[in-house]
Amino acid sequence: MIKEIFNTKQTELNNGIKLITIKKDSQISAVHAGVNIGSLFEEKDEKGIAHFIEHMLFKGTQVRTNEKLNSDLENLGGEYNAYTDFNSTVYSATVLNEELENAITLMGDMILNSTFPIGEIEKERGVILSEIRTINDDIEDLSFQRVNEIAFKYSPLREDTIGNEDIIKNVTREQLVKFYNKYYLPNNSFISIVSPFEHEDIINIVNKCFGNWTRKKFDKKKIVTEKQQFIKKISYKKEIEQSTILYLYTFNGLSKDEELALRILNFKFGESSNSILFRELREERGLSYDVYTHLDTSNNVKTLYIYTSVSEKNVDEAILVIDTVIKDIETEKIVFDDNTISLMKKIMKTAIASTLEDSTDLSNYVLHQAMDNEDIYQFTDDIKNMGNVKSEDLYNVSRKVLQKPTIHIFLPEKRG
């Protein structure tokens, strides 16, 4: 595959915004604006502030009331959204080409001119608290939260991005505005736009909507990575029918080639619907309906989870199956032959091609590559390097990563 697989231009505006424009023949345009700040960079008394601010940017600006802003967003006739993760906060819109400039204008107004109305803060506080309680009611979400809490002693990965309930209850407007003013800066922001328009035309629109944003100096705290603790813990929860089992591994320090091997291994290990874990736990033994792995290679995160839910009487057997699968991979009892590796590579190439075909996915992908200080064409190197991945690379990375997990188990609390 050639390096310049799509027509792109990377521009740094005078105020420090990093802009990526991609010219693509499509009736749909996509824009993503990312501020390079997420929950990892919050202090202990700020847990949930980045996410709270994301909510508040939809609640009114200096020229648009809450109702006017949301009406204008709705009138774009497309999709608009936002999310906060460990490293960033992202605002997005996917619209017809004719609405792209309006979408960029609205996004600029939200990000530069939000007013944080006190009445809306109180309403949104209730919304976020409800969101937190919803997670507490969802056994799967809660399982991920609990395994993170016990896996780490000091890493900010211990805390969910959505926030700490006590902090959300008491956070003030002044705290929100202070965090916003500190990190919502053009020289801490990235914009990616996929459209059929000329690069210079898009650059001019972005300059018009974001050019008055003033660059400032800022510091972000250094994130110290931490390996998971080797521990197994059982918790109990009322009114659940199924028990959950969650393994957590970290893999800081892997090389690019090792991460690529891990991603290929993960497809066969637990990510696909025909994975080894799926076959062993569900198809062969009928222990579980839901089983999967989740791999996150983001900066400062680097985590691999194994999740399944089983009846309480099958917990020990399910853990034995998972441990046996891992051991059989590490000892090469499970064979990754050329056909298996070829299929795994094909699946990855299909996923990459799917991202490139979809304007929204492509815009989101290049935004995160830029925010992580990675080449937006990294996937071309990945595809090229896949040809060099051998079975021994998969075995070696399994022996490096799948060691001494944090394990959390939820069991039903005994009824009185």
Read off the pLDDT of each residue in 239-253 and give the average, rounded to a whole number.
Answer: 95
The percentage of the chain sitting over the pLDDT mark of 90, rounded to a whole number, equals 81
Summarize pLDDT for 282-295 with one digit per residue, the tens. Answer: 999 999 999 999 99
Domain annotation for the chain: domains and CATH numbers = 7-210 (3.30.830.10), 231-412 (3.30.830.10)
Using the structure block, give the residue that is written with the tokens 């000892």. Answer: 331
Q: Give residue 415's pLDDT band: very low, low, confident or very high (50, 70, 90).
A: low
pLDDT at 1: 38
CA distances from 3 to 54, 121, 250, 259, 261 (A): 35, 47, 31, 21, 21
What amino acid occupies position 165?
A: E
Asked which of 53-62, 224-233, 265-274 is least confident by mean pLDDT, the reply is 265-274
Does 385 score more than 90 pLDDT?
A: no
Does 332 score more than 50 pLDDT?
A: yes
- CA 114, 111, 16, 180 torsion-angle sign: positive
Summarize pLDDT for 83-98 with one digit per residue, the tens. Answer: 999 999 999 999 999 9
Asked which of 25-34, 215-224, 255-264, 340-349 is least confident by mean pLDDT, the reply is 340-349
Does 3 score more than 60 pLDDT?
A: no
Read off the pLDDT of each residue in 298-319 and give the average, rounded to a whole number.
Answer: 96
Does 382 score more than 90 pLDDT?
A: no
Residue 114 pairs in a beta bridge with 61
Look over the chain and give the mean of its residue pLDDT values, rounded to a whole number.
Answer: 93
pLDDT at 2: 41
CA distances from 30 to 27, 39, 361, 375 (A): 10, 25, 9, 20
pLDDT at 137: 87
* In contact, 48 and 39? CB cutoff 8 Å: yes
pLDDT at 362: 94
Q: Give residue 413's pLDDT band: very low, low, confident or very high (50, 70, 90).
A: confident
pLDDT at 67: 94
Answer with the residue of higher pLDDT: 375 or 234.
234
pLDDT at 355: 86
Summarize pLDDT for 98-113 with one digit per residue, the tens. Answer: 999 999 999 999 999 9
Cβ neighbours of 141 (radius 10 Å)? 14
Read off the pLDDT of each residue in 69-93 and give the average, rounded to a whole number.
Answer: 96
Cβ neighbours of 130 (radius 10 Å)? 9
Does 340 score more than 80 pLDDT?
A: no
Q: Give residue 414's pLDDT band: very low, low, confident or very high (50, 70, 90).
A: confident
267-302 b/e (C-beta count within 10 Å ≥ 16 → b): bbbbbbeebbbbebbbeeeebbeebebebebbbbbb
Asked which of 62-66, 221-225, 234-238, 276-280 is least confident by mean pLDDT, the reply is 221-225
